[in-house]
């Protein structure tokens, strides 16, 4: 277990597709300094504009961009245009950055049937394909724990089991992602208010506002937050072009990111990618305020529990069994 | 004031070859650190040894330790100003210099730990979005900034009036001194709360943490001051009195005893009936599931603190100057390990999901940390140079009464 761990890069558990190892970009420190001064990571070194708006004015615009919640509609539109141009320069992809607001009367909740989960990690793969996480170093939002049957001691869980040979005899599986706490310790920790709870109950991050202090990572009881230790790397083919400002748009080096219950999908009435990918139907998602929703059915008819509910963070992620 | 600034800068640059070699050496190491920081900016924080699992490392560990050093300056301020001890008053300004240098080191350590340092303006009220009073990190920024300004203000006021040939007006500075005493306790308490506030980290989530922080700070900070004062006595004409070393030594002794008592209280609570909360402590002290990277660190820290405790608590041993200094050095290093490798790092091991991933700092991290320490030494050296020059009457305002400025230094 020890060797496997040290070999996998920073945060990722092995998944079937197997991405390449982390390699440091060998760039001059001076270029890096310039990149730092002008913001936006790898921007400066790359070629200039393709569709209006110069690279330089974009980097300056990005550097002085205001907090998402403080920007006017016009400023957000400008910011989105900059982000889309930047994605073209960085990844050669034509992305669309949406800004759909929360739907009134909707608070999202998630439930997971642990007696159905077999540990195949399809949710982990689908999450990466949907949410544009860096492939190298690899970032994953969902961590699947393999536990001995009859016990739930997280300290004895195996995070690096082989998903080809599951379900293993005598084991059960516990996938963990952001629990979207109603009383989130992570947003309290942030010194600059770069992460907050949206009216639909989802905790989001403004990737242009985060200063990268990682206090939220220390505060999270579910180990649900990830840091971009290097420039995120992913190829044009891997990019999901349907994005949202507060969710799966491209990230920057040095900022924190996390699961948003796929709000680029769920705010448009679709289901999270992890749910759609689950071959065993272990996942249930829906509007907690709608008495006829699937999630409400589970909460009212199944025996449910929440992970670390004793910490008082009031998570909106439940586990249940048949 | 302009003449004072010019004279101060001249004084900072004046000195023999050894003095210049010291400044040059520090600058060289700082430049090495700048090079590695350039690497960190160029490639991202992947050049450090940190990970999503252990997301704070050497930088925050040193930050925590140095907040203690900054706070510990109060252990000269209290005997000097509150108990009005003349001998301590002679060196209290050097204590303020330590506090200032330590504060600046703290701020630098937090800054080099940021993933996006160019966005630090986001913390500015109005212009940015400062999450005060909810975020404990926001609190820490506030208390450290105020503490730095208090110490800087008091130091500049006293040194400048002495430079001008006047006696400092006690009514003018005394309220600020009292405030700085209270404030010293606040900076380390807030830093402890920064860790305590994380319900997800049972190892830090304990009420004894803030008292432990203060006890260990008042061990290592004054110990550092004791060694520093002796070095200054050796290389300058400013002679520190034996009685000062003894009184500060007494503070180190009592703090050492309290610190180890607190550690014992903590260990009893953790280990007598082990709950899930004991996992970090088990990993730290004994190793767990085959991982024991921190075990040698913590036991060497405890050994050092125990040896220091025996020496300092035994009058005959403490009276021996060499042993006394050895004990101080052991206490400095012992507490440094206890707060870094022994407190910050194990808070992250295991993760809230029970995973163990060990941490060791990368060379980039080590050099950047050493360089930040050198920035602190450089700042202290330059400040102390001016303070001593004024105290000894070597620099003074044109036309100032030389007698007044020298009163303190001549008190013996």
Residues A258-280: tens digit of each pLDDT = 999 999 999 999 999 999 999 99
Residues B182-202: tens digit of each pLDDT: 999 999 999 999 999 999 999
Question: A14-18, B13-17, B168-172, B246-250: which range is least confident on average?
Answer: A14-18
B127 CA: distance to closest CA in chain A (Å):
9
Q: What is the DSSP letter of B49?
A: S
Four-point Cα dihedral B125, B131, B135, B136, nearest 10:
0
Which of A147, A178, A229, A256 is most worth mutating to test chain B (most B CB atoms within 10 A of its CB)? A229
Q: What is the mean pLDDT of chain B?
A: 94
What are the DSSP E strand ranges found in A9-136? 96-98, 108-113
Give the tokens for residue A272: 């999270």
Which of A37, A155, A230 comes nearest B44 by C-beta? Answer: A230
Asked if residue B5 belongs to a domain, the reply is no
Residue B78 clears pLDDT 50, i.e. is over it: yes
ipTM (interface predicted TM) = 0.93
**CB within 8 A of B149, min separation 6: which ones?**
none
**How would residue A246 be classed by pLDDT, with cut points 50, 70 and 90?**
very high
Domains of chain A: 1-20+96-322 (3.30.70.20)
Residue B195: the pLDDT is 97
Query: Which pLDDT does position B251 carry in this prediction?
Result: 95
**pLDDT band at B410, cuts 50/70/90?**
very low
pLDDT digits (tens, 9 = 90+) for A90-110: 999 999 999 999 999 999 999
Please check whether residue B367 lies inside any domain of the structure: yes
Q: Using alpha carbons only, how large is chain B's radius of gyration in Å?
A: 22
Residues facing A98 on adjacent strands: A244
Identify whether B268 is part of a domain.
Answer: yes
Phi, psi (deg, nearest 5) at residue A172: -135, 165
- The domain in which residue B207 lies consists of 22-395
Backbone angles phi, psi at A307, to 5 degrees: -75, 130
User: Is residue B403 in a domain?
Assistant: no
Number of H helices, E strands in chain A: 10, 12
Percentage of chain A surpassing pLDDT 90?
Answer: 82
Does A193 sit within 8 Å of B131, measured CB to CB?
yes
Nearest chain B Cα distance for residue A228, angstroms: 8
**Angle, vertex CA A270, rays to CA A265 and CA A273, nearest 5:** 65
Mean pLDDT value across residues B406-410: 43
Neighbours of B208 (CB within 10 A): 15
pLDDT at B290 (0 to 100)? 92
Beta strands in chain A (DSSP E): 96-98, 108-113, 143-148, 171-176, 195-197, 203-205, 225-227, 242-244, 256-258, 283-287, 304-305, 317-320
Contact B116 A252 (CB under 8 A): yes
What would the two tokens of residue A78 be?
A: 């400008």
Residue B196 lies in a domain: yes
Select the residue of B55, B56, B353 nearest A143 (Cβ to Cβ).
Answer: B353
Q: Among all chains, which residue has been given the structure tokens 């044109």? A: B398
Q: Which of A22, A218, A230, A308 has the highest number of chain B CBs within 10 A, making it the mutation to test binding with B?
A: A218
**Which pLDDT band holds residue A1 (cuts at 50, 70, 90)?**
very low
A65 contact B CB<8A: no
Mutate to test the interface with A, among B41, B47, B110 (most CBs of A within 10 A): B41
Q: How confident is the model at residue A52 (pLDDT cuts 50, 70, 90)?
A: low
Residue A29 has a pLDDT of 43
In this predicted model, what pLDDT tens digit does every residue of B331-343 receive, in sequence order? 999 999 999 889 9
Q: Which residue of chain A is at minimal alpha-carbon distance from B203?
A: A218
Quickly count helices (H) and strands (E) in chain B. 15, 0
CATH number at residue B60: 1.20.1630.10
Q: CB contacts < 8 Å between A and B, how many? A: 203
**Residue B340: its pLDDT value, please?**
86
In the predicted model, what is the mean pLDDT of residues B267-284? 89
Peptide bond connecting B301 to the previous residue in cis, omega within 30 degrees of 0: no
Residue B69, domain member (yes or no): yes
> Is B17 within the bounds of a domain?
no
**What's the confidence (pLDDT) of residue B48?**
98
Asked if the structure places residue B3 within a domain, the reply is no
- Quote the pLDDT of residue A12: 63
Task: For B204, name the nearest residue in chain A, comparing CA atoms only.
Answer: A218
Start-to-end C-alpha separation, chain B: 30
Contacts of B276 in chain A (CB under 8 A): 153-155
Per-residue pLDDT, averaged over A56-73, amounts to 93
A positions 176-195 inside 8 Å of B (CB): 176, 185, 188-194
Measured distance CA(B352)–CA(B356) in Å, rounded: 10
Mean pLDDT of B89-102: 95
DSSP letter at B407? T
The average pLDDT across B309-320 equals 95
Cβ atoms of B192 and B210 closer than 8 Å: yes
Portion 106-165 of A in contact with B at CB < 8 A: 137, 143, 145, 153-157, 159
What residues contact B314, with CB distance under 8 A and at least 6 apart? Answer: none
pLDDT level of residue B74 (50, 70, 90 thresholds): very high
| Number of folded domains that form chain B | 1
SS3 B241: coil
Q: What is the pTM of this model?
A: 0.91
Query: What six digits make up the tokens of A103?
Result: 């739907």
Say whether pLDDT at A33 is over 70.
no
- In this structure, the number of other CB atoms found within 10 A of the CB of residue B266 comes to 16
């Amino acid at each position: 277990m020890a060797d496997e761990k040290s070999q996998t890069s920073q945060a990722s558990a092995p998944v079937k597709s197997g991405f390449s190892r982390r390699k440091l970009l060998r760039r001059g420190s001076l270029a890096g300094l310039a990149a730092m001064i002008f913001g936006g990571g790898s921007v400066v070194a790359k070629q200039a504009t393709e569709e209006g708006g110069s690279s330089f004015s974009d980097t300056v615009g990005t550097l002085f961009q205001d907090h998402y919640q403080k920007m006017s509609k016009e400023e957000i539109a400008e910011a989105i245009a900059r982000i889309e141009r930047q994605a073209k320069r960085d990844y050669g992809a034509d992305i669309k950055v949406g800004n759909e607001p929360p739907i009134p009367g909707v608070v999202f909740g998630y439930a997971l049937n642990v007696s159905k989960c077999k540990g195949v990690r399809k949710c982990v793969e689908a999450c990466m394909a949907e949410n544009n996480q860096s492939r190298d170093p690899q970032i994953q939002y969902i961590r699947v724990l393999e536990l001995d049957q009859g016990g739930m001691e997280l300290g004895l869980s195996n995070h690096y089991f082989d998903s080809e040979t599951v379900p293993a005899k005598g084991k059960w599986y516990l996938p963990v992602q952001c629990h979207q706490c109603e009383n989130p310790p992570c947003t309290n920790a942030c010194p600059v208010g770069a992460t907050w709870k949206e009216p639909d109950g989802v905790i989001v991050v403004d990737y242009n506002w985060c200063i990268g202090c990682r206090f939220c990572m220390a505060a999270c009881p579910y180990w649900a937050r990830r840091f971009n230790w290097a420039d995120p790397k992913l190829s044009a083919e891997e990019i999901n072009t349907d994005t949202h400002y507060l969710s799966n748009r491209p990230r920057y080096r040095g900022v924190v990111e996390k699961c948003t219950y796929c709000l680029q999908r769920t705010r448009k009435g679709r289901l999270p990618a992890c749910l759609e990918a689950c071959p065993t139907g272990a996942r249930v998602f829906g509007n907690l305020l709608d008495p006829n929703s699937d999630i409400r059915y589970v909460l009212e008819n199944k025996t449910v529990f929440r992970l670390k509910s004793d910490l008082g963070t009031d998570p909106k992620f439940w586990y249940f069994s048949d | 004031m302009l003449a004072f600034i010019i004279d101060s800068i001249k004084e900072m640059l004046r000195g023999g070859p050894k003095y210049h070699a010291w400044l040059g050496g520090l600058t060289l190491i700082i430049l090495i650190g700048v090079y590695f920081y350039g690497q960190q900016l160029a490639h991202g924080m992947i050049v450090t040894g940190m990970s999503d699992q252990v997301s704070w490392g050497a930088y925050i560990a040193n930050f925590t330790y140095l907040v203690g050093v900054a706070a510990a300056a109060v252990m000269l301020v209290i005997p000097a100003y509150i108990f009005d001890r003349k001998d301590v008053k002679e060196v209290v300004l050097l204590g303020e210099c330590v506090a200032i240098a330590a504060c600046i080191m703290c701020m630098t350590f937090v800054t080099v730990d940021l993933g996006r340092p160019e966005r630090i303006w986001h913390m500015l009220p109005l212009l940015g979005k400062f999450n005060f009073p909810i975020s404990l990190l926001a609190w820490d920024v506030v208390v450290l900034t105020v503490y730095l300004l208090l110490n800087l203000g008091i130091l500049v006021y006293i040194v400048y009036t002495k430079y001008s040939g006047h006696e400092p007006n006690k009514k003018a500075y005394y309220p600020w001194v009292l405030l700085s005493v209270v404030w010293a306790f606040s900076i380390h308490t807030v830093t402890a709360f920064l860790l305590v506030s994380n319900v997800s980290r049972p190892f830090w989530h304990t009420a004894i943490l803030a008292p432990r922080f203060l006890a260990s700070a008042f061990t290592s900070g004054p110990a550092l001051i004791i060694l520093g004062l002796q070095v200054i006595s050796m290389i300058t004409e400013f002679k520190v009195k034996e009685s000062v070393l003894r009184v500060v030594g007494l503070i180190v002794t009592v703090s050492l005893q309290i610190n180890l008592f607190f550690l014992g209280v903590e260990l009893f609570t953790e280990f007598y009936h082990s709950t899930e909360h004991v996992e970090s402590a088990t990993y730290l002290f004994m190793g767990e599931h085959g991982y024991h990277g921190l075990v040698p660190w913590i036991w060497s820290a405890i050994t050092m603190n125990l040896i220091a405790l025996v020496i300092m608590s035994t009058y005959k041993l403490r009276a021996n100057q060499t042993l006394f200094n050895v004990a101080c050095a052991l206490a400095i290093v012992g507490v440094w390990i206890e707060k870094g490798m022994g407190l910050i790092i194990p808070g992250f091991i295991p993760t809230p999901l029970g995973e163990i991933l060990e941490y060791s700092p990368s060379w980039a991290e080590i050099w950047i940390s050493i360089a930040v320490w050198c920035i602190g030494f450089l700042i202290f050296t330059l400040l102390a140079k001016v303070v001593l020059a004024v105290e000894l009457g070597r620099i003074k305002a044109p036309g100032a009464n030389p007698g007044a400025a020298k009163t303190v230094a001549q008190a013996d």
